[in-house]
Amino acid sequence: MRMGQGVEWTLHVLLAFAWLDDDEPVTVQQLAASHELPVAYLNKQLQALVRASILESLPGARGGFRLARRPEAITLMDVVVAIEGTQAAFRCTEIRQRGAGAAMPAASFAEPCAVHASMQRAELAWRRELAAQTIADLRADADRHAPAAGAALRRALGRTPQRTTT
Amino acid sequence: MRMGQGVEWTLHVLLAFAWLDDDEPVTVQQLAASHELPVAYLNKQLQALVRASILESLPGARGGFRLARRPEAITLMDVVVAIEGTQAAFRCTEIRQRGAGAAMPAASFAEPCAVHASMQRAELAWRRELAAQTIADLRADADRHAPAAGAALRRALGRTPQRTTT
DNA sequence: GTGCGAATACTCGGATACCGCGTGTCCGAGTAAGTGAGG
DNA sequence: CCTCACTTACTCGGACACGCGGTATCCGAGTATTCGCAC
């Protein structure tokens, strides 16, 4: 089982947006450069976030991406669903009804498959944990452990000039 | 993100073993037929369970597979690890150190990546839930919701003949 | 000086190849059982 | 009748193709800016 790396990329991108803390759009080129990622492919992933109303895109010159909601209103669950899709990792194909089960009355399968239920229970715990954490929490954690990271990223994106020239 | 279907297959197979409740080996052909699964590919999956010491295989005529431990001692986590491997679904590639982070002192990365930590927390909850359920629990759930399933499966595997001929 | 209009350069967006991993299959090594002959 | 060795048939086990989804890339549609010109 493997999660697409788009999740990692977009989470870092959203963390960057949380650090920027303004409404100025950022181009995908800047975002890609700030983490040395393939520009075009990152763009594709960000489109998924736009479709999920996590980011919004501004076309044209001086365009780019910016957050569509506040960081506190974006959960990790939202991001995972936006990138990986809504389907569960474990997919019950109802093999209990095939083979030996084929001879049983249809009413026997009214209750959900026990295997399915157990796996679903585990995934529910996973989802619950993801939904409990927001991008704002992520920023708070990062600031706590590496206070300089936010400033470094702002500098890489050309924000917060080190000195006002006049 | 998608989990290999081998997990579903092997869980149903282990549930079947829990229903049989004896030490007689069962051939992969019988097991595959009992759920209409591809014989050879199921065999491949079962080998993974053997490597994980969940099943044991008996070669030669009248051989087959049987449980290596009691159903209460086999957790869903064991099965998932045996089939899917031990690696986590989310893999941190430390992109925080690339791009903007490259200019930061190495000591900044002593603490784990915040993104990584958050995703790991969620996966831990998932693992914990998987580890809390055993094959025996699975059988208990199945018996509760569909009491006839166990008998049907035993019959399909040629056990518990309906009538003693003499 | 000011308003307007077209050219421009920059942005995102979706359509298009590539590749690795899961899926599926096959045949060979190994072993326990069965069988026949010999004692 | 018992023992033993051989044949046999069956099992698992790993090595070999196939296909799909994620990965990566490119070029086109669209828009805000910008420059030049007319008034």
SS3 B58: strand
Name residues whose C-beta falls within 8 Å of residue B1's C-beta, 6 or more positions apart in sequence: A1, A2, A3, A4, A80, A84, A85, A89, B89
How many CB atoms sit inside 10 A of residue B136's CB?
Answer: 16
With 50 as the cut, is the pLDDT of residue A66 above it?
yes
Helix and strand numbers (H, E) in chain A are 7, 2
Residue among A4, A92, A152 whose CB faces B103 most closely: A152
Using an 8 Å Cβ cutoff, are B65 and B50 in contact? yes
With 90 as the cut, is the pLDDT of residue A9 above it?
yes
Spanning CA of B25 to C1' of D26, the rounded length in angstroms is 57
**Nearest-CA distance from A74 to chain B in Å?**
14
Tell if A1 CB is < 7 Å from nucleic strand D: no
Share of chain B above pLDDT 90, in %: 86
Task: Spell out where chain A has E strands.
Answer: 55-58, 64-67
Cross-strand pairs, A95: none
Measured distance CA(B47)–CA(B60) in Å, rounded: 16
pLDDT by residue (tens digit) across B94-149?
A: 999 999 999 899 888 999 999 999 999 999 999 999 999 999 999 999 999 999 99
Q: Which nucleotides of C are covered by protein (CB under 7 A)?
A: 8-15, 21-27, 29-33
pLDDT by residue (tens digit) across B6-30?
A: 999 999 999 999 999 989 999 999 9
**Nearest-CA distance from B51 to chain A in Å?**
18
**Nearest-CA distance from A79 to chain B in Å?**
11
Measured distance CA(A133)–CA(A130) in Å, rounded: 6
Measured distance CA(A25)–CA(A17) in Å, rounded: 9
Spanning CA of B84 to C1' of D23, the rounded length in angstroms is 21
Residue among B103, B117, B148 whose CB faces A104 most closely: B148
With 60 as the cut, is the pLDDT of residue A93 above it?
yes
What confidence category does residue A89 fall into, taking pLDDT thresholds of 50, 70 and 90? very high
The structure's pTM equals 0.92
Measured distance CA(A67)–CA(A58) in Å, rounded: 11
With 50 as the cut, is the pLDDT of residue A61 above it?
yes
What confidence category does residue A129 fall into, taking pLDDT thresholds of 50, 70 and 90? very high
Measured distance CA(A84)–CA(A8) in Å, rounded: 11
Least confident of A53-62, A79-88, A152-161, B70-79: A152-161
Give the count of alpha carbons within 13 A of B7, CB side only: 24
